[in-house]
Amino acid sequence: MKITAVKPFIASTGNFFVKVETDEGIYGIGEGGLRRRGRAMAEVIHSSEPTLLGQDPFRIEYLWQRMFRGGFFPGGVIQSAAVSAVDIALWDLKGKALGVPVYELLGGRTRDKVVCYPHNGDPNNIESLVQSCRDTYEAGWKFVRWGVCDPEGDDRFEPTRAVRFGIEQVKAVREALGDDIEILVDVHTRLDPPASIEFCKGVEPYRPFFIEDPLRSENPASLKLVRQNTSVPLAVGEQFDSKWSFREAIEEDLMDYCRVDLCIAGGLTEARKITGWCETHYIHIVPHNPLGPVSTAACLHLCLASALVGVQELPRPPMTSLTDVFPVQMPFADGYLLPPEGPGLGLEFNEEALINATPPDPGPPAGYQRDDGAYTNW
């Protein structure tokens, strides 16, 4: 079997997909992160075609190394996201060719289902947030999640206000829903160490399951200061683009939960290495999954085959988005993703729905402003 085509697609939603075709008619589908950078990822795919065409698609590790190292200079997060899409497609293709689900290729199931968390709405209003969390709980979910925000408005983020408001949010949700619900709060890299420490210490009495990305990702060493000053579990890693990016956070025990993004960090090939490394430090994986059905499927297969899994992100339950492109998606019930029945990832793909898709205009950079007009993380 030989690879005959590698096709990138940008959906009207901004989701980026790659289809790898072969001379035997078997294909695989993958997804890349960075929805605002679809055209850049597509160019990386086109430049990688000489590396991939004519190759044996079963040689996944070999092809990963060729794509990742082939330009000599490190390609950064855009290259890693494009490589991720191809890599996931190769695992899907191999599973289909062998007639088994991808999780069987990863060592087989370690669990029967994977617990998930949604995204809860309207965090700027505590009453509305509590109601959203209550609705989630009554629908069968075991987790609730929202992001730290500034109550002054959607385009503002002043850390002092956000920290005070964030503590009030966690307190209100815990008191309203009791001890049976797990609370996740995403700082989204918006705070510096002193503000992050204040927030983490403030929510300690309400026992959040974890606080996500308490600091910017460029300098993982800064997490040491936060670790020394709070007992709240920390989740880190959604912006890391390879196992090397994760090295310090794992080896220095700077996180409790690993937010590996399969569509950014190098696909299933790289994610399973990161996952095994985390196991040696008792770090559970919590895959970052804000994207589409392929990302959801790839994360599910990794979780099904991994020893230490905390929870999987699932802001859009299966069959609620891109159903024209993926008419068959992952099974889901009562807050859990279930093992798919088909081979590979278990998805069905309708290429025709993407051929004439118009990619969205990415618009201006996403971000917030401080009260003095300074630009800060989104």
Token pair belonging to 255:
């996180």
| Residue 284 annotated to the active site | no
Amino acid at residue number 180? D
| Residue 288 annotated to the active site | yes
Which residue's structure tokens are 């590698």?
6
The catalytically annotated residue of 188, 281, 284, 301 is: 188
Helices (H) and strands (E) in the chain, counts: 12, 15
Q: Which residues pair with 344 in a beta bridge?
A: 101
Token pair belonging to 242:
């390879």
Residue 139 and residue 297: Cα distance in Å, rounded?
A: 22
* Residue in 236, 232, 311 with CA at minimum distance from that of residue 274: 236
86 contacts 30 by C-beta, under 8 angstroms: yes
88 contacts 267 by C-beta, under 8 angstroms: yes
* Residue in 186, 113, 184 with CA at minimum distance from that of residue 143: 184
- Contact partners, residue 154, CB within 8 Å, separation at least 6: 124
How far is the first Cα of the chain from the last one, in angstroms, to the nearest whole number?
45
Residue 211 and residue 218: Cα distance in Å, rounded?
A: 18
Residue 98, classed as helix, strand or coil, is helix
Which residue's structure tokens are 């026992």?
207
DSSP 8-state class, residue 156: B
Stated as kind and residue range, the H or E segment containing 136 is: helix 126-138
The catalytically annotated residue of 46, 119, 281, 288 is: 288
**What is the C-alpha radius of gyration for the chain, rounded to an integer number of angstroms?**
20
Catalytic positions: 188, 288
